[in-house]
Amino acid sequence: MSLVVVGCNHRSTPLGLLERMTVAPDDLPKALHDLATAEHLSESVLLSTCNRIEVYAYAERFHGGYADVRELLARHSGLPPETVADELYAHHDADAVRHLFTVAAGLDSVVVGEHEVLGQVRDAWQAARTEGTVGAVLEPLFRRAVETGKRARTDTGISRGIASLSHAAVALAAKRLGGLSGRRVLVLGAGEVAAGTLKSLADAGPADIAVASRTPERAVAAARLCGGRAVALDELDSALMGADVAITTTGATEIVLEHSNIDDVMTRRSGAELLIIDVAVPRDVAPAAGELPGVTLLDMDDLGDFVEHQRAGRHEEVDSVRAIVDDEVERYLAEASAREVAPLIAALRARADVLSTSELERHGSRLADLSPAQRAVVESLLRGVVNKLLHEPTVRLKDAAGHARGDRLAEALRDLFDL
């Protein structure tokens, strides 16, 4: 059996392909069911965010597990399996553990140290628990990953400054417009990213914040976060007419603002420029809208370029988090190995008990003349010798658990005693 992670992210895959492979929340139960019924997978967790789609699985064989995940992503995206395969990365066993802990710690995100990804890892784990696709391997793995993410943010300053996609989007808008004070902002969406965007906007001092969502009640609740106002979707064109910047954050699976919508709005704006920052994956805004006169359309790729400079100035924090990840990976692997050797040790002792009982029964006629007390002494002597013989191998196996030597000893024990 092998622990594997197969996926793609903002670094490995162009945005146009990444958004096709993204699994929407409503589609997550079916995707997990498909993984649960795959030939080579025993457990699975699916992590799908605005900049990554990854499947963590406990697989019968690495290559079989990889093929099962590739086929799922191909079916979901409607892309040929060979096209999907070209975009995927894969890690197994210790490297898979390290990758997950690195993701949870915020080191593999567009915004280094972002706090949103930790919640996304936790949500993916909880969704898999709800669907019954996690067990004895992935349950402790994801619990430790969440603990690692919390420790990274508590023990270091990795989350200081721009620490979320939503915060980065607002900072990018402010940079492009020379500040947001007195500006009019439209936020499209009312989910988690929208909430983070609105909280960041509240500190930026815009003159007006409008929030639009398919669900009016959610728009009203979101607008309260920043003292803004809710607008209905049928008022969206009017809201765009009066906005200096629009930040789109919905979880829609199709384009929300078509080229024709933006074209009509820009015609009526009489030359007033409009900045649109689309942080949704899949995208909310038709890419062709960025070619319209007066429109500046920025997406996740632009946002990634904007925050890349953070890495240069945060080497110490990044190094500190990597040290935490290294420590947590080592601890997890040692504990996992200890969990694996416990059944082996139990099987060895059970085999010894069976042999001891068998030998006592085989020599039963010769022991028939012994008194109960004498027989008890013989049985105690036999089991004492067996326990002393097993003591040293058991101690050495436990001490070596989590290291290559422990794996070799465990394999030798299985072969020697046919366990």
Chunked into runs of 10 residues, the chain (419 residues) has average pLDDT values of: 89 88 91 94 93 93 91 91 92 94 93 87 96 94 96 88 84 93 94 89 90 90 90 89 94 90 92 93 92 94 80 76 94 80 80 84 83 84 84 79 72 81
pLDDT (0 to 100) of residue 310: 55
Place of tokens 């890690």: 91
pLDDT (0 to 100) of residue 403: 64
Contact 8, 87 (CB under 8 A): yes
Dist. CA 25–CA 17, nearest whole Å: 18
Contact 118, 104 (CB under 8 A): yes
- Distances in Å between the alpha carbon of 33 and those of 69, 122, 133? 12, 19, 8
Contact 94, 35 (CB under 8 A): no
Strands (DSSP E) found in 222-270: 229-231, 245-248
Provide the CATH number for the domain formed by 165-307 in this structure. Answer: 3.40.50.720
The arrangement of strands across the sheet holding 184-188 comes to: 229-231, 208-212, 184-188, 245-248, 274-278, 295-298
Closest residue by Cα to residue 246 from 195, 291, 205, 211: 211
Query: Where are the chain's structural domains?
Result: 2-161, 165-307, 348-417
Contact 356, 191 (CB under 8 A): no
For 260-295, b where at least 16 C-beta lie within 10 A, e where not — what string? ebbbebbeebeeeebbbbbbbbbbbbbeebbebeeb
User: What is the homologous superfamily of the domain 2-161 according to CATH?
Assistant: Glutamyl-tRNA reductase, N-terminal domain (3.30.460.30)
pLDDT (0 to 100) of residue 129: 96
Instruction: Give me the amino acid identity at 304.
Output: G
- Per the DSSP assignment, residues forming a β-bridge with 52 are 9, 49
Instruction: Give me the amino acid identity at 286.
Output: A
Q: Which two tokens stand for residue 85?
A: 């395969």
Dist. CA 181–CA 138, nearest whole Å: 47
Dist. CA 153–CA 79, nearest whole Å: 38
Angle of the 138-155 helix axis to the 116-131 helix axis, nearest 10 = 160
pLDDT (0 to 100) of residue 264: 93
What are the catalytic residues? 50
pLDDT (0 to 100) of residue 313: 60
- Which residues have a Cβ under 8 Å from the Cβ of 347 and sit 6 or more positions away? 419
* 71 three-state secondary structure: helix
